[in-house]
Amino acid sequence: MSFDFITKKLIQQQTQHRYRQRICVAEQNGREVTIAGKTYLNFSSNDYLGLNKHKKINQAMQEGIDRFGLCASASSLVTGFHYAHQSLEEHICLWLNKPRCILYSSGFAANLGVLQALGQENSNFWLDKLSHASLLDGALATKATVKRFLHNDVEQLAQWLNKNHFDKNQTKQNVSDNLIITEGVFSMDGDRAKVAQLSEIAKENDAWLYVDDAHSIGVIGEKGQGSLSSADPDIVMATAGKAIATSGAFVACNEQLFEYLVNFSRHYIYSTAMSPALAWATKASLVLIEKEQWRRDKIKELSALLASKLNDEIQLIPTESSIHAIIIGEESKTLAVCEKLKNKGIWLTAIRPPTVARNQSRLRVTICASHNNKDISYLAQCLNEVLN
């Protein structure tokens, strides 16, 4: 039978408690989610700033539809690049203090699009061990030599770069383009990359620093600039579908790289452009993000509250973000904990391999600005009970 491995793989997933199924959501916001007629406190959302369904963003979306239409109708290099796109790119450049910005359909597409364009035979990619799947996929799909340094181990990275740590077949003369790749906030642990140190290492070794800021943008920094609030990476990718509460992604970079991506990034060249109405709504969201510091302050306050109310036996991975990881271990045990929380009206998704390492299955708790003190207290109470 053709493709009989499909059945075998699915059975294996079920046996290992890693089987994944979609769940239809009737309605959700940063605080609650309604599934199969029941409403739960939602601690799995990436709507970190609680901006989803914000009236001003919705109004901007409708204005964009009326003015530009919902669909771009072509790729950006044909007739798909609208004034809405140009306006959003210019706003991002001013916000992040970067010369140029280019829009992609998603963060996954952006990471693949940039890395595949940069991954030439004389390119060397240095990835943090916990880099997102899209970064790893993008890197491995190129001609570049790929090395993965231990998570946040800047000393190991520096040693490798200093020693030009590559295969014996390579020489110093044909190894010239080094790209350090990391996440600003790591999606499963919630901890931050040592971006300032990585930036210094990059400069010392004539390398570039690429930061995936999907979980940092909007949440970190006084105006939500993410990693750019503490350092100046050469390339920053960020998604709009999390704290920004719309969809799509952007890459902020220098002028020359921008021109190169326009000419050689296949994910940009051959994809229909982002909806212009969506770009218009995204710009409205950025205005709110820059002005409303209280949203970031509230995440910090609620995060501190959660940590203070958990039993001492429950360990949170240190974080400055919205993401709070609680390691459970075995897949079956993690699923059982999630089911107990669900019965108490708490929605948390079990994160299992291969998303995380074996025996590292966890609860990935996300705190949003739309939560309140009562929500956090109830969450802590439930966690203390089910993890006892």
pLDDT (tens digit per residue) in 141-170? 999 999 999 999 999 999 999 876 455 445
- Among residues 47, 128, 191, 212, the one annotated as catalytic is 212
The pLDDT, as a whole number, for residue 174 is: 56
- Among residues 47, 89, 128, 183, the one annotated as catalytic is 183
The pLDDT, as a whole number, for residue 20 is: 84
Please tell me the pTM assigned to this model.
Answer: 0.92
- 212 labelled catalytic: yes
Sheet arrangement for strand 38-42: 25-28, 32-35, 38-42, 346-347
Give the number of other CB atoms < 10 A from CB of residue 141: 12
CATH classification of the domain holding 346: 3.90.1150.10
CATH classification of the domain holding 77: 3.40.640.10
Residues 6+ apart with CB under 8 A from 168: none
**In the chain, which residues have pLDDT < 50?**
165, 168-169
133 domain residue, yes or no: yes
Instruction: Clarify whether residues 37 and 64 are in a common domain.
Output: no
Total count of domains within the chain = 2
- Among residues 42, 44, 45, 46, the one annotated as catalytic is 46
- Residue 383: helix, strand or coil by DSSP? helix
- 132 labelled catalytic: yes
**Listed residues 259, 291, 323: the one ending a domain:** 291
Instruction: Clarify whether residues 247 and 333 are in a common domain.
Output: no
1 domain residue, yes or no: no
The pLDDT, as a whole number, for residue 168 is: 42
- 183 labelled catalytic: yes
| Residue-number span of the structural domain to which 162 is assigned | 55-291
Cβ atoms of 49 and 243 closer than 8 Å:
yes
List Cα–Cα distances, 205 to 30, 167, 180, 234, 252, in angstroms.
42, 18, 10, 14, 22
- Among residues 82, 91, 132, 283, the one annotated as catalytic is 132
The pLDDT, as a whole number, for residue 253 is: 98
- Among residues 52, 111, 187, 322, the one annotated as catalytic is 187
The pLDDT, as a whole number, for residue 349 is: 87
- Among residues 215, 267, 298, 371, the one annotated as catalytic is 215
10 domain residue, yes or no: no
Cβ atoms of 121 and 143 closer than 8 Å:
yes
